[in-house]
Structure 1
Amino acid sequence: MQVSQLIGLADCTLSKFDLERAKEACSWIEDVTHSRLNPPSDQMKDQKDVQRALKDGQALCALINTIQPGSVKKVNQSKLAFKEMENIEMFLRACKEYGMNEVDTFQTQDLYETKSMYSVVNSLHILGSLARKNGFSGPTIGVKLAEKNVRMFSDETLQAGKMVLSMQFGTNKGASQKGMTPYGATRKM
């Protein structure tokens, strides 16, 4: 990739980042875990502050362990890069085991190298929605996820439905292109 393409890509991911939404997610983490991030959510000014607060993965592991106790067995306290990334990986694995879809998670580099902080924030909001759906009684964020709405129809109703011909089967009545000028021909005004 050329430098101009990389700059364009960075601008794209930066434009998707929403600081207010990120602050909401970080505030939620603080509320659920009963501990303050560093920097605290109310003092965050940009995506670097959000990244700095979550980079070591300890707050994320504490979050998932509060929502689903025992999800992450051992949280690394070390400040070595590979140990911090391991915390993030364990958080992501626990989220998938909790029921989060693979497409809703982020990559470790998205957080650790500030590559895609909007993905991190989106994942946290989805985790909040999933926690609400799974019956977590603490504070939640995100939208309410849909519940299953299973419908049972009698055989008589199913047979009656097979007798109806919908417009999807096609018709020779209605709008057509008959009489229109052929492609490429001039129109007379």
Structure 2
Amino acid sequence: MGEYRANKAGINAEAQARIHSKYNDDIAHETLEWIKLLTGEPANTAGDADNLFSVLKDGTLLCKLVNAIQEGSVKKVNQSAMAFKCMENINAFLEAAKKLGVPAQETFQTIDLWERQNLYSVVTCLQSLGRKAGNYGKPSIGPKEADKNVREFTEEQLKAGQHVISLQYGTNKGQQSGITFGNTRHM
């Protein structure tokens, strides 16, 4: 579908080039290997953008992935190659990923994958889903999520902090003469 569009020009072309420059073949390869570990597909796990696009474009593998993490996440996977059916699969994957704990800011728009506009955000979403997969007893990928570090302070410790003057209020240490700010006044 995207091959029938005119090429972007000017500032739009620069913005698209910046988006494409973020894409990393190694991270995409790691992501496809993780998908293969969970679903048994795809046969080719090369991390180049062409392969990632061809493997994920119809959304069926994405739906299999979330169903492998949590059974029944996507009820109906469309096998049709029609554009709207494929985009329904991608959208069903995105909804299931959000339910599995992927933050909304780490997801992508359906059009980012379908028209190959931003494969970087697709990989980011899959990496985020990979971190959440550990919560469901599945192998995870990417950096480990931070754990909560709750701290408890006594009333005495809290009151001790009220007697400290913050540096935002200035200091009485040192000498203030000779400090100039801006230009001097000429008379």
Sort the TM-score into its range (normalised by shorter chain). Answer: 0.7 to 0.9
Report deviation, 1:160.
2.0
SS in 1 for 2:10: helix
Residues 167 and 19 from structure 1, CA distance in 2 versus in 1: closer, same or farther, beyond 3 angstroms? same
**Residue 41 of structure 1 corresponds to which residue in structure 2?**
45
Distance in structure 1 (CA, Å) of the matches to 2:74 and 2:92: 6
**Residue 26 of structure 1 corresponds to which residue in structure 2?**
32
Report deviation, 1:179.
4.2
Distance in structure 1 (CA, Å) of the matches to 2:117 and 2:76: 26
CA RMSD of aligned residues (A): 2.3
Which one-letter code corresponds to 1:41 in the other structure?
T
**Residue 164 of structure 1 corresponds to which residue in structure 2?**
164
1:5 aligns with 2:21: no
Conserved? CA contact 2:63–2:74, under 8 Å: yes
In structure 1, runs of 5+ residues without a counterpart are: none
Residues 152 and 85 from structure 1, CA distance in 2 versus in 1: closer, same or farther, beyond 3 angstroms? same
**Residue 15 of structure 1 corresponds to which residue in structure 2?**
21
Give a deviation string over 1:112-137, Cα, whole Å, max 9, x none.
100000110111111111222x2x33
Which one-letter code corresponds to 1:36 in the other structure?
E
Distance in structure 2 (CA, Å) of the matches to 1:84 and 1:28: 22
SS in 1 for 2:128: helix
Which one-letter code corresponds to 1:30 in the other structure?
K
Residues 172 and 67 from structure 1, CA distance in 2 versus in 1: closer, same or farther, beyond 3 angstroms? same
Residues 177 and 85 from structure 1, CA distance in 2 versus in 1: closer, same or farther, beyond 3 angstroms? farther
TM-score (norm 1): 0.84
**Residue 3 of structure 2 corresponds to which residue in structure 1?**
none
Q: Which runs of 4+ in 1 moved over 4 A?
A: 174-177
Task: Give me the identity figure in percent.
Answer: 43
In structure 2, runs of 5+ residues without a counterpart are: 1-7
1:65 aligns with 2:71: no
